[in-house]
Amino acid sequence: MAYLFTSESVSEGHPDKIADQISDALIDNFLAFDKDSKVACETLVTTGQVVLAGEVKSQTYLDVQKIARDTINKIGYTKSAYMFDGNSCGVFSAIHEQSDDINRGVDRATKEEQGAGDQGMMFGYATSETENYMPLALDLSHRLMIELAALRRENNDITYLRPDSKSQVTIEYSDDNIPQRIDAIVVSTQHDDFVKPKSDSKADIAAAETEMLEKIRKDIINILIPRVKAGLPEHIQVLFNDDITYHINPTGKFVIGGPHGDTGLTGRKIIVDTYGGKGGHGGGAFSGKDPSKVDRSAAYATRHIAKNLVAAGICEEILVQVSYAIGVVEPTSIYVNTYGTCPFNLTDGEIADKVYEIFDMRPAAIEERLKLRQPMYSETAAYGHMGRVNETVSKTFEQFNGTKKTLDVELFTWEKLDYVDKVKEAFEIN
């Protein structure tokens, strides 16, 4: 029997994502001037206020207030009407030095013997249902948010958009797990109060709200959706149909939003950040953590493994789990689930054994293989850490004393298909 599966995404202006982006901007700035920095930074945002807290061990000193304000302005919170903007909000820092007890378990005499920064389990997932090996519902949800942000910045076709928004997509699958159609799309977007009531009467206020909501619904369906659809391959475009159920700002007008409407915290969108509920999640957030924290680095490494195994033809879908003990070099386990999609006479246990041989999962080896000591993390903090484009960009950073540094940074290294040939050779397939 056919079934439905749903994933959601949120915009860069969502309160939790603002917090993630500030935390990762701090990570990038620390790594830019001291690649061996150890950082765990949490951010809270609320009406007119940003609170930074965490632990740092670094040889550099940063103007954390300026970094936070620049990040907020870049997102688009630049107007006092939002009750939260980068130029006027308060920024309080409670960042302090990392505990020696924690650091002792991570740092070793040789880099190769670096222990895991914490215990826990991490998951990586990949599926062949999209070109970027991501679950379709999540991929479409992200695309909706990316395109809506582009429309906001263009300020031409839609002129009333504010930064905070959310999306959700429901896909109908066949019994053999093939996407059949899009069943429902939800978009909630913050907006200006662009239709004023004729009077203070309840009837006129309701009429103005109805007019706004009808305009927003029309623009989302007739402008946003076609732009998203146009960027998709043909076999995904055909899943759009006239029977899609649209829920556009279903609670009514959405003028009060962002940190003024809802407090935001680092690490509260871990499913948006990963696979939209497909596969598994170990529970650890990514943003605000340097790569010695295996919550982050090993999650990227397992995604790299999963994607390369699917691309090599080992399976159509795969979940990879790895686990660690704090301060211990080797992982405590590696687990694989191919959901019965492996076309070869191989058990999941045998595949896991091969994975252990092919991929060095010691924390230091992961950092080196995926080049994780680069200031590469700000770009991960909105629209998902997985399924993104591997590219090299130039980034400039400024220290407290005005010293600037420009670096070429390779982004999303865990999305590279650089191990496909190694996987095929190890499994002895053409």
Binding residues for ATP: 14, 164-166, 253-254, 262, 268-269, 285, 289
User: Rounded CA gap, 133 and 310, in Å?
Assistant: 8
Could you tell me which residues are annotated as the binding site? 14, 16, 42, 55, 98, 164-166, 253-254, 262, 268-269, 285, 289, 293
Q: Which residues are annotated as a binding site for Mg(2+)?
A: 16
Return binding residues for K(+): 42
Closest C-alpha among 274, 298, 213 to residue 248:
213
- Name the binding residues for L-methionine: 55, 98, 262, 293
Distance CA 228, CA 315 (A): 29
Residue 84 backbone zone (phi > 0: left; psi -120 to 50: alpha; other: beta): beta
Smallest CA-to-CA distance from 316 within 116, 155, 191, 135 is with 135
Instruction: Name the residue type at position 62.
Output: L
